[in-house]
Amino acid sequence: MSGKLGVMAISDDNTGSAPCHRRSICGVACSLDLLGDKWTLLVVRDLLLGKRTFGELQASPEGIPTNILADRLKRLQAEDIVYKELYQERPRRYRYHLSAKGADLGPVLFSLLRWANKHIPGTMSVAEVQAMMEENRS
Q: What is the pLDDT of residue 137?
A: 76
- Cβ atoms of 121 and 77 within 8 Å: the answer is no
Has residue 16 got a pLDDT over 70? no
Number of C-beta neighbours around residue 102 at 10 A:
21
Has residue 19 got a pLDDT over 80? no
The CATH architecture of the domain made up of 37-137 is Orthogonal Bundle (1.10)
Q: Compute the C-alpha angle 9/27/98, nearest 5°.
A: 95
As a whole number of angstroms, the distance between CA 128 and CA 16 comes to: 42
- Please compute Rg for the chain using Cα positions: 17
pTM of this prediction exceeds 0.85:
no
Higher local confidence (pLDDT), 125 or 22: 125
pLDDT average, residue stretch 26-42 = 93
> Which amino acid is located at 6 in the chain?
G
Question: Can you give the residue ranges of every domain in the chain?
Answer: 1-36, 37-137
* Buried residues in 26-61 as b, exposed as e (16+ CB within 10 A): eeeebeeeebeeebbbbbbbbbbbebbebebbbebe
pLDDT (tens digit, 9 = 90+) per residue, 38-77? 999 999 999 999 999 999 999 999 999 999 999 999 999 9
For 85, phi then psi, to 5°, come to -130, 135
> Which amino acid is located at 126 in the chain?
V
pLDDT average, residue stretch 15-31 = 72
pLDDT (tens digit, 9 = 90+) per residue, 84-117? 999 999 999 999 999 999 999 999 999 999 999 9
> What percentage of the chain has pLDDT greater than the value 70?
84
